Structure 1
Amino acid sequence: MTEYFLQAFIYLTAAVIAVPLANKLGLGSILGYLIAGVVIGPIIGLVGSETNTIQHFAEFGVVMMLFLVGLELEPKMLWAMRNRLLGLGGLQVVGTILAVMACATYAGYGLSTALTIGLIFSLSSTAIVLQTLSEKRLNKTHAGKNAFSVLLFQDIAVIPMLAFIPLLALPELVEKAQAAVSSMSEQHEQLSLVASLPGWAYAIVLVLAIGAVVLGGHYLSRPLFRMVADSGVREISTAAALMLVIGIAALMSLVGISPALGTFLAGVVLANSEFKHELESNIGPFKGLLLGLFFITVGAGIDFSVLFADFSEIILMTSGVMLIKGIVLYLLALIFRIKGSDRWLFALSLAQAGEFGFVLLSFSVQQHVLPAELAQTLSIVVALSMFLTPGLFILFEKVIFPRFQKKTNQRAQDNIDEVGCVVIAGIGRFGQVVNRLLISNGIKTVVLDHQASQVDSIRKINTKAYYGDATRPALLTTAGIAQASLFVVAIDNRESSVALVKYLHHTYPKLNIVARAFDRGHGHLLKEAGADIVESETHHSALEVGAASLRLLGYSDDFVSKRKSTYKRVEKEASKRLYAQWLTESEGERFSNDFLNLFMRYEERLKQAMAEDFEVQTANEAYKSETESTSSSEYNKHNK
């Protein structure tokens, strides 16, 4: 028992240290787990022979992952994405398989082995790509949306791959495995319901098993989870979710089907269930831990002697895989008319192998499709390609994107043929609202934006805007800044907005300046630079959401209105004091402990003000009720 505790402590400690560090460096959690495994395995040697045994247990995390993937696949969403999902995603998988398979065959591998290698390398890292796109705010771009479609198709494609790989088993590997573990094979036969059945009976059992999953998931799961939910016992809800996944996996194993296939199918059946989110929240932590454990065991099982012995070959294979995938993706981007920098982002972001590659490698060895030595080499290639992914994003950000941005902005700035009493710099979401309100009230505006595409988009809806950099004095002069009464700064760059406000304040001291702030710190900088009015981009909308939340919780409109007024009053007072404190601090000490303490005092002041208002309002309502009651009694007495 002590040995198990120590091993668990080692694995958990490695994960707790490595994963946060990897996330902080932009490498992603998957690479963090792999690094943790490499450190405690080949480098330090804290874990050893038990790694393979633990990996078999941890592979259940893959089963849970595919169940959760199935839960996300609502039919309406899949239908809406059908063109990109089947067209772009399907062609990427098929194209990559054929290209890699051709190279592997040329290198001397057999047809079955080459096809398996193609299947493994056709997949990309869903975890790394989606996380990086989200962190860099690229997930809403054209490239980001198309990358998501491809990744989703790849996740779905894992299911038929798991079902197909056993058909590629090599006879020599099967014979070798049977000779080595004949006793274990006999034990497995005893746990199978279909081992001795004829072909027609086996087919009937498969249909019945899949039908049981579909019908049971649709008709029996709802009353089961409703009964569990009515009990109000949280741990029973978690137990029921685990029971469902484990039971389906066990049933699929007994009838000779991949457990992952069965749980994926169950997830799709339950995708429209009202208990979908409850299942996700219950299964999610177990999936995350087991998958993390699986990737740690993958890292711990990497044999560095293989890397050093065949270093040039592995580097060549890694480069070749990423180049092949990049070319396939780039050609598909051309076919599907993904333009400009989005084309390169799409190709580079998906050029690596993925975490499912480790799953398919492990499964291929178990099913006697790949020899263990080759699988070890391929796992290093998969890991290296994932390690190189952050570098591809840096290449895009630092080299490729600036070039396309420069080309986009090479057109000459527009000739401004009118002047207005208000100049607006920036016509994004924030600037559009300001501009619409002003022009709807007959106020003449001159709108400037440094993004040509944004100006062209705005013109399509009959809103006049001019392309040009508002931070350039010459353009401001052309825009009639000397005759303007008000300047609205709504550009989306913090440093540029502060510099622009500072220039306007010193050059045109009589000009009123209103500026959009991203947060409190940015607002302080804008005030210091000379802005007359500074508004946070989310302050008012967030306050309205808070007020709407109070109404939905049952509070009256009068109650909510007074609480909003109290919040605004305290916030206004706090903003003045916090800004004064901020000004007294040196540049290197801003947001010091004194500032934070003052902020916390105003948080307490806000609670106190709300409590005082509540007492006053309660007293007023009681007095009003008592007065109305007295008046009513006197009226009744008079009538008698």
Structure 2
Amino acid sequence: MTNGTPMAVEAAPLYYEPLLLLAGAVIAAPLFKRIGLGTILGYLAAGIAIGPVARLIVDGRELLHVAELGVVFLLFIIGLELKPARLWAMRRSIFGLGLLQVVVTGAALALIGVALAGLSYGAAFVIGFGLALSSTAFAVQTLESQGALNRQHGQTAFSVLLFQDLAIAPLLALIPLLSPGGEGADAISGERFLLALASVAGLIIAGRYLLNPLFRIIANTGAKEVMIAAALLVVLGSATLMQIAGLSMALGAFIAGVLLAESSFRHELEADIEPFRGLLLGLFFMAIGLSLDLGIIVENWMLILIAVPILMLVKALILYAICRVFGSEHNDAVRVAALLPQGGEFGFVLFTAAASAFIFPSATASLLIAIVTVSMALTPLSVRLGEMLMRSEAEDEMDEDFDGAGSDVMMIGFSRFGQIVSQVLLSGGTDVTIIDHSADRVRAAGRFGFRIYFGDGRRKDVLEAAGIRRAKLVAICTNGVATTDRIVNLIRDEFPHVRLYVRSYDRAHTLSLRDRDVEYEIRETAESALTFGCRTLQALGSSEEIAREIVADVRRRDEERLAIQSVEGMYAGNDKMHVRPVTPEPLIKPTREARRLDQEADQEAVESAGN
């Protein structure tokens, strides 16, 4: 206590803003999610309420710089899911569709700026191409929530976003050329270009030759907190390197993620970064709401009311046309167009830099930021409108008819895994209610005589209609971690007493399912890999009996390791694994020894009988 004032009261201002932000997130995000508007709009609304409306926090722009780390962490996690070979396979979409989208949209918006607003050519160029960029945070978060990041339209949208991240560097480099009195801009741009190339090359070399040995050394120490610190160091270090080179921080984190995509530490890194990603991404959306200048919106409400729909309509139409040119189906093209019509967070950086270079006034930059922010806030609405436009595609849809559904077992997902499981259950005389969200798969299964229902297992009403309350057990056989997790979480929340048998993707997924009290799970490749190994041993000369004993031993040690990992973390229980040939061979030697002893005992018995 100092001068009669309690220390807790003195310290309160230090925690004042974080407490407000946490309270706003806890109240608004679940509320908006509950009413069907999504957590993103909830975070935005919380930021607007705390900042521009109540003015409890007045410096939202400064918070936005910190919150942008959420986008950085998001791109790192996405990079972890994209192996270099897969990224190379997407090159046509990235450098074809992505390049065309930026050039055509930027030029169209620049021409509109010159024709309707009387902008100078330099200002129109910056504004047009700045508004051509879309929000990576909004789009990817939406795709993740829908479980669509790995679907065709999700990959197309991500390719466009990735090229936009690449485009921010040359756009920033061009600002000195467009600035009044931009002498020396050529030299600056040349230096930035060389620095950018050197930085990318350095990051690739470090990722290829240094990161895996670094994580291996840290993992061997068993220090969990050091592993987390190393993960943060890699993400923030790569992002900072790219920022120094004039590229986007998110691009640096994405490259680091791609370089680690084939690492054995990939799942551990993802688990370490995920909490920071979720928290900072929510903070990012709240910071956008905090930084919104309601005064500018009120003063220019008519201009914004006209500009935002024009921006979103022009971008959506161009995106749809380009997607169709590149071979996308109507539904996929509509999804991409509805997902990416907003302005992007990198536009904030571009417009601020342009105002600093006197290409247009600061008031114009503030107005553009307000337009981008409003367009971001309208993204969920544009996605809903896109869904309405897809209803005319009757050939891709089916009626949800659950007449006759309801049995002891409900199976969700009828891919190859589910089809084999169904054969076992049906052969055992068990009636199975099968639901799948693919209309083509439902039609194909129906032609073989299966009783299968069209429906999305991620929806409560579909589960109710399919008879989940009558089911003794639910078998979740879906593809993909995100889809499976959404179904598991839904059933655990709404039908907590249902027994869940779940197909898991990998070891990390298995551990997360066990944390949610799933009664039984199995990695989709585990038993087939064990059978494959067993047959391989037999081909090399082992007897069937010995091969089966070895496989049983591997299965037992694997289960023991999982039990240890569920308590102590991913890198615990390493002593349960064999990473090099075991000498003498386990099980084989004891078995041979036992047979030798048995033979000696038999011989002794024969000799005793002869005597």
Same fold? TM cut 0.5: yes
Query: Paired residue for 2:407?
Result: none
Distance 1:368 1:225, change over 3 A: farther
1:164 aligns with 2:171: yes
Question: Do residues 146 (structure 1) and 108 (structure 2) align?
Answer: no
Matched, 1:309 2:299: yes
Q: Does 1:80 align with 2:94?
A: no
**Aligned pair in 2 of structure 1 residues 454, 67: CA closer, same or farther (>3 Å)?**
closer
Task: Choose the corresponding residue for 2:454, options 487, 492, 517.
Answer: 492
Query: Among 99, 113, 127, which residue is 1:104 paired with?
Result: 113
How far apart are the structure 2 equivalents of 1:267 and 1:457? 39
**For 2:438 and 2:200, how far apart are their aligned partners in 1?**
55
1:522 matched residue in structure 2: 467
Query: Partners in 2 of 1:158 and 1:391 — Cα distance?
Result: 24
Instruction: Tell me the secondary structure at the aligned position of residue 109 of structure 1.
Output: coil
User: 1:234 aligned to 184, 204, 224, which one?
Assistant: 224
Counterpart in the other structure of 2:212? 222
Please say if 1:6 is aligned against 2:16: yes
CA drift of 1:306 comes to 1.2
Q: Assess if the C-alpha contact under 8 Å between 1:85 and 1:150 holds in 2.
A: no
Aligned with 1:332 (options 307, 311, 322): 322
CA contact (8 A) 1:317 1:381 kept: yes
* Unpaired segments ≥5 residues, structure 1: 176-196, 411-427, 442-448, 466-487, 496-516, 527-533, 561-627
How many percent identity over aligned positions?
A: 31
* Aligned with 1:289 (options 266, 270, 279): 279
Letter in 2 for 1:400: L
Question: 2:501 is paired with a residue of what secondary structure?
Answer: helix
Q: Which amino acid aligns with 2:164?
A: A
User: Aligned runs of 1:413-492 on 2, under 5 Å?
Assistant: 429=414, 454=440, 458=444, 489-492=451-454
CA offsets per residue over residues 596-624 of structure 1, 9 Å max, x none?
Answer: xxxxxxxxxxxxxxxxxxxxxxxxxxxxx
Q: What does residue 403 of structure 1 align with?
A: 392
Is 1:377 the counterpart of 2:339? The answer is no
For residue 4 of structure 1, report the CA deviation from its aligned partner. Answer: 2.2
2:173 & 2:290 partners in 1: Cα distance?
A: 26
Matches within 5 A, 1:555-574: none
* In structure 1, C-alpha distance between the alignment counterparts of 2:35 and 2:353, rounded to whole Å: 31
Q: Does residue 1:542 correspond to 2:551, yes or no?
A: no
Pair 1:395–1:205, CA change in 2 (3 A) = closer
SS of aligned partner of 2:454: coil
Distance in 1 between residues matched to 2:258 and 2:120, nearest whole Å = 36
Any idea what SS the aligned residue of 1:392 has?
Answer: helix
Measure how far apart 1:8 and its partner are: 1.9
* TM-superposed deviation, 1:213: 2.9
Asked whether the 8 Å contact 1:130–1:148 carries over to 2, the reply is no
> For each residue in 1:493-521, what CA deviation from the matched residue of structure 2 results, as whole angstroms up to 9, or x when unmatched?
599xxxxxxxxxxxxxxxxxxxxx95798
CA contact (8 A) 1:170 1:369 kept: no
Over 3 Å counting, the alpha-carbon distance change for 1:494 and 1:82 in structure 2 is closer
Instruction: Mark the runs of 5 or more structure 2 residues left unpaired by the alignment.
Output: 1-10, 400-412, 428-434, 477-497, 505-519, 531-548, 557-596
Structure 1 residue 360: deviation in Å? 4.6
Q: Which amino acid aligns with 1:24?
A: R
SS of alignment partner, residue 393 of structure 2? helix
Partners of 1:285 and 1:252 in 2: CA distance: 23
The one-letter code matched in structure 2 to 1:153 is V
Offset at residue 361 of structure 1 (A):
4.5
Report the CA distance shift for 1:542/1:325 in structure 2 as closer, same or farther (over 3 A): same
> Once the 2 structures are TM-superposed, how far is the Cα of residue 313 of structure 1 from its aligned partner?
0.9
Asked whether the 8 Å contact 2:93–2:160 carries over to 1, the reply is: no
Residues 439-466 of structure 1: CA distance to partner in whole angstroms, max 9, x if unpaired? x99xxxxxxx9x997499749x9x578x
CA contact (8 A) 2:475 2:501 kept: no
Q: What one-letter code is carried by the residue in structure 1 that aligns with 2:217?
A: M
1:51 is aligned, of 46, 50, 60, to 60
Q: How far apart, CA to CA, are the structure 1 residues paired with 2:392 and 2:124? A: 39
Give the whole-Å Cα distance in 2 for the aligned partners of 1:3 and 1:28. 31
Instruction: Tell whether the 8 Å contact from 1:348 to 1:392 is kept in structure 2 after alignment.
Output: yes
Looking at structure 1, the residues matched to 240 and 415 of structure 2 have their Cα atoms a distance apart, in angstroms, of: 55
TM-score, normalised to structure 2, is 0.62
Instruction: Give the structure with higher Rg (CA).
Output: 1
The change in CA–CA distance for 1:371 and 1:342 in structure 2 (over 3 A counts) is same
User: CA separation of 1:22/1:369 partners in 2, compared to 1, >3 Å: closer, same or farther?
Assistant: farther
Q: Which amino acid aligns with 1:405?
A: A
1:351 aligns with 2:345: no
How far apart are the structure 2 equivalents of 1:200 and 1:337? 37
Asked if 2 retains the 8 angstrom alpha-carbon contact of 1:458 and 1:464, the reply is: yes
TM-score, normalization by structure 1: 0.60
Match 1:31 to one of 36, 41, 52:
41
Query: How far apart are the structure 1 equivalents of 2:346 and 2:94?
Result: 18
Tell me if structure 2 keeps the 8 A contact 1:101–1:115: yes
Quick check: 1:166–1:367 contact (8 Å CA) kept in 2?
A: no
Matched, 1:117 2:127: yes
1:277 and 2:267 matched: yes
Retained in 2: the 8 A contact 1:298–1:358? no
- Structure-1 residue corresponding to 2:564: none
> In the aligned structure 1, how far is the partner of 2:52 from the partner of 2:211?
45
CA distance in 2, matches of 1:371, 1:264: 33
Distance in 2, matches of 1:147 and 1:494, equals: 18
Partner of 2:263, secondary structure, is: coil
Displacement after TM superposition at 1:46 (Å): 0.4
Q: Structure 2: how far apart are the matches of 1:203 and 1:430?
A: 48
In structure 2, how many angstroms separate the alpha carbons of the residues matched to 1:99 and 1:518? Answer: 46
**Secondary structure at the counterpart of residue 119 of structure 2:** coil
Q: For 1:14, what is the secondary structure of its paired residue?
A: helix
- Given that residues 173 and 369 in structure 1 are in contact (C-alpha distance below 8 angstroms), is that contact kept between their aligned partners in structure 2? yes
State the partner residue of 2:101: 92
Closer, same or farther: CA 542–256 of 1 in aligned 2, 3 Å = closer
Q: CA deviation at 1:536?
A: 5.1
1: CA distance, partners of 2:324 / 2:188: 51
Partners of 1:31 and 1:525 in 2: how far apart?
Answer: 37
In the alignment, the residues of structure 2 paired with residue 335 and residue 68 of structure 1 have an alpha-carbon distance, to the nearest angstrom, of: 30
SS of the residue corresponding to residue 542 of structure 1 reads strand
Q: CA-atom RMSD, angstroms?
A: 5.3
SS at match of 1:491: strand
Instruction: Quote the residue 1:394 is aligned against.
Output: 384
Query: C-alpha offsets along residues 361-382 of structure 1, whole Å, 9 cap, x if unaligned?
Result: 5565567666432232222222
* Aligned-partner SS, 2:453: coil
User: Deviations for 1:374-419, whole angstroms, at most 9, x for unmatched residues?
Assistant: 232222222322333333343344x434433289899xxxxxxxxx
Q: Indicate if the aligned counterparts of 1:330 and 1:344 stay in contact, CA closer than 8 A.
A: yes
* Deviation readout 1:451-485 (Å, 9 max, x if unpaired): 997499749x9x578xxxxxxxxxxxxxxxxxxxx
SS at match of 2:316: helix
Structure 2 Cα separation of the partners of residues 494 and 67 of structure 1: 30
Q: Which residue identity is paired with 1:92?
A: Q
Greater mean alpha carbon deviation, residues 89-98 or residues 164-173:
164-173
Distance 1:390 1:27 in 2: 7
Structure-2 separation of matches of 1:64 and 1:258: 13
Query: Could you say what secondary structure the match of 2:210 adopts?
Result: helix
- Report how many aligned residue pairs link the two structures: 474
In 2: Cα distance, 1:238 partner to 1:198 partner? 37
